[in-house]
A and B are shown apart, each in its own frame.
Chain A
């Protein structure tokens, strides 16, 4: 009996150790799956192959249900690594990949994690966000402070959108695009109310202001460093700006706004990267941003913002230098609602002020439908 206890005790301890290691192992990253060696099976890969037609029927039958998940963006019929016809699911999240069925009516399912598929509209339409436009100009275009030239450099950003302040239409952009020259330093002047705002920005006309057109006049508000928005506005010059507030490759927007939410699909139209799309990856962000005191100038201050919107910006594909001032809107086709004012970022991350905070700061509303 004692011996039995001893054997049982040892066995259970061994079992515990095995289970323990097993669970430890299962909580780590799973080993990279190894695809079985491709079978050298010759398959007729056309739709005339009855087995492929059969899989296409399965695909057609299940596609509506599969695509009811917003992270499933497409299906197809494919040939798997064993040379057998299979249903292919295109998904945009690990969640959707994990939830994908292994088989559909006996047909194997392959899952491909991919970026969201977007129309390359800016390429196909050839819309320029840097060229001098014929007035009245559309927004989402290159622009800036007329005198933004100092220390051997010129600077520019994006004339992002149109807002209304007490019935007066103003271009909305960033403080650091319109009025961050706060020392006489390299150009013997500081930004002031009444200064001209030009299109395109100096950077797109070889720093020669004679090639630009005046489209608005600055209303200096010195939002930074004290407020929580990197925003500035300029009264439009009659006839120089599309009064509907239309934005290049986006069109008119809604007069109402919407709060950001994690996973929300968004887009923007800006000077450097044109029309681009991404999704909100973070909310209520606290971030610090360092500012210069003029174009290519010295350090002015470091501002710590709270309550900001974070957007995925892998390899600066969504937002890059020169896109500051762009309006962040929801990614819908018709009259999208404004979400934020883009102003900062890095090669992985873009940051926007919530549009509600911006409009409150100016006592403004969006110009839109």
Chain B
């Protein structure tokens, strides 16, 4: 009987482990959020902005309208992706390749 219980427990653990490893948002180790998303973003924004290639950070939504932290990057390389979190304190992170943010004034050569 004890063997059967242990086997059942092992089966459950394996099943849960399988689901967990397949969820890309849990790559960074997701926990239930303890702090609200604005507080979390503010706590991490300086470090994120100091990362080479990061152009901005904001609060947005995932496709299913879950609040998330958006990290805007100039160019999304594999190397940069590997340095950025996929969750922050339990909140999902979305990475968007935005390019650089520039003032949107127009300029043209003087052809007079």
Contact = CB atoms under 8 A, between A and B. Distances in A.
Contacts of B65: 93, 95, 263
A288 B112 contact: no
Interface in B1-47: 3-4, 7-8, 10-12, 14-19, 21-24, 38, 41, 45
Interface stretch (A100-108, A245-253, A314-322): A314-322
B102 A288 contact: no
B24 to A, nearest CB: 8
Secondary structure type dominating chain B contacts? mixed
Secondary structure type dominating chain A contacts? mixed
Contacts of A17: 14
Given A16-B10, A286-B58, A28 B109 contact: no
A342 B7 CA distance: 61
B84 interface: no
A321 B103 CA distance: 8
Contacts of B99: 346-349
A357 interface: no
Interface stretch (A153-161, A190-198, A236-244): A153-161
Contacts of A20: 14-15, 17-19
Most buried by B among A9, A16, A152, A319: A16
Interface residues of A, number: 76
Interface string B82-112: 0000000000000011111111111111111
Contacts of B4: 5, 8-9
A270 to B, nearest CB: 9
Contacts of A154: 107-108, 110
Contact of B64 (A94, A203, A263): A94
B58 A283 contact: yes
Interface in A320-369: 320-324, 342-351
Contacts of A13: 7, 10-11, 14
A134 interface: no
Interface stretch (A32-40, A56-64, A118-126, A290-298): A290-298
Interface in A275-305: 281-291, 295-296, 304
Given A5-B3, A207-B108, A207-B110, A282 B59 contact: yes
Given A290-B102, A295-B107, A28 B7 contact: no
A23 B19 contact: yes
Interface string A5-41: 1001100110111011111111110000000000000
Contact of A304 (B3, B8, B49): B49
A271 interface: yes
Contact of A285 (B14, B22, B56, B100): B56
Contacts of B59: 262, 282-285
Given A206-B111, A287-B55, 11 more contacts: A12-B10, A13-B14, A20-B15, A95-B64, A272-B106, A282-B70, A285-B58, A304-B49, A308-B58, A310-B58, A321-B106
Interface of A: 5, 8-9, 12-13, 15-17, 19-28, 93-95, 98, 144, 149, 152-157, 174, 176-177, 180, 201, 203, 206-208, 230, 262-263, 271-272, 281-291, 295-296, 304, 308, 310, 319-324, 342-351
17 contacts: A16-B10, A16-B14, A23-B22, A24-B21, A152-B109, A156-B106, A176-B105, A230-B103, A282-B60, A284-B58, A285-B59, A287-B101, A288-B101, A296-B107, A342-B104, A344-B104, A349-B96
